[in-house]
Structure 1
Amino acid sequence: MAFRLPNWVTQLTTAPSLPALPSVDSVIAEVDKALKTLAATPVAQRDNPGHAASPSQLDDAEKAKVVGLMRVNHVGEVCAQALYQAQALASRDPAKKALFLEAAREETDHLAWTQERLQELGARPSLLNPLWYSGAFALGFVAGQLGDGVSLGFMAETEHQVEKHLNDHLGRLPAGDSTSRAILQQMKDDEIAHGQTAVAEGGQPLPLPVKLAMTAMSKVMTTLAQKI
C-alpha cells in the first residue's frame, strides 16, 4: 500500500510561489496600524455593552481577578488585530482581503471595550503586547501565504478557541461584575459569527497537530498576560 502524505503537508510543499514582497507603502501602513493598536486609544464603532449593565460592586480580591481576565482578553484583541491585518495583506483575493479587514474592524470594538474596562479598574494592559502583536502578525502572514482556504481555516479555528476561552472567563467572573459580563458576552457572539463566516467562505479544517499547537501557544500567552 503506497504511503500518502496528509493533504495539509501536500499544500505546504506545493504552495504557489511567494508573491513579491509588500511595497514600501504597505510596510509603512502596517507599521502605522501596529502603532495605533499598541499605543493609541482605540475607538469603537458600537456602544460599549458594559455601559448598559448595572454598576459592578467588587471587593479587592474580585477586582484583582477581573483585571487578570480582562488583561488576557485585551491581549487577545491585540492579537486579533495583528492576525487579520496580516491575513488581509497576504490574501490575493480582493473579496477575502475585505473579509479579513472587516473582521479586524469589528475586533477593534472589542479592543476598545476591554481597554476601557481595564482603565475603569485602574489597571494597565499587558507589557508584552508588542511581542504578542508581532507573533500574531507573523502567524497570520504565514497562514495567508498558504492560500485563502488555509487562512480562513486558521481564522475559524482561532475563533473557535476564543469562544471556548470566553466561555471559561464568563464562568469565572464574579457574580457582581455585570459590566465585564456584558462585554464578554457580546465579544463571544461576535467571535462565533466570525468563525461561521470563515467556514462559509471556504475555510479548510486544520489538522489536529496544528490545533494542539495553537492551544499550547494560547495557554502560554494567557498565563503570562495575566501577570505581565
Structure 2
Amino acid sequence: MDKAPQSDMERRLVEQLREGKFAKNAPVQSGRRGCYYTSIPASVKHKDISGGDLTALNLDKTSLLETILAKNYEGQEDLFLGELQFAFIAFMMGQSLEAFMQWKALVSLLLSCSDAPLHTRTNMFIKFIRTLYYQLKHGFQHTQDSKSGDMGNSLCLDETWFSRDIFLYRLSKDFFTVVFEAPVVDGDLLSWARKLKSLLETTFGWDLEDDAVNLIDEDDEFAPVVVEMDGS
C-alpha cells in the first residue's frame, strides 16, 4: 500500500503531526523500523477476468476482504479488527502518519463491501461499526483548556476532517445506503449503522442525506473502479 499522502486532507495532516508536541518530544531511537502492517490494496486488479467482472469486484470488495482474511489473518475476523484498533491507537496516541494510513485502508476496505455486511460477515460488521463508532466518539471529542476554560477540539480534529473531500464521507455515505436500503438487514447492524450515521452528522456536521452523484472525484483513489467495455 502506498504510504504517501493521497489527498489535501492527508497532506495537511502530515504538517499537523510534524508540528505537534509528539513530533517535538519523541526521542530518537536508532534501529527501530516501526510497526508491520498488513498490506491492503486500494483496488482489485486481475488480468484474466472481463471488464464487467472487474468493475463488480471493485464496487463490492467482499471478495477482496475474504482473500485478505484468509491469507493474512487465518480467517479470524477479530485479528483484522485488532489491527484496526491498534492502528487507530498508534495514530491517536503516537501521532503516527503510517498508522493513520493503515487505519484508513482498513476502514475503507470494510466500508466498500456490500454483500459481506448483509450476508456472509454480518457479525464482523456489527463489531466493526461499533468499534468505529467509539473510535470517532472518543478520539475526536471536544477538549477543555484547563487554564482558560475554553472548549476546543482534540489534536487530530481540525477543519480538514469536516470536509466532504475526506474519504470517510463518501464511503460511509455509500455504506449507509447499502444497509438502510437492504430489503432484509440484521437488527443490530441496522441499529449501530444508525448510531454511527448520527455521530458523523453531529461531530462533523455532515448531511449524509444529500445526493452523492456529483461527489465522486475522478482522482479519488477510493472511487469505484469502472472499466469501460469495448464497443466492438
TM-score by length of 1: 0.30
Considering Cα pairs closer than 8 Å and 6+ residues apart, tell me whether 1 or 2 has the greater RCO. Answer: 1
Structure with more helix by fraction: 1
TM-score by length of 2: 0.30
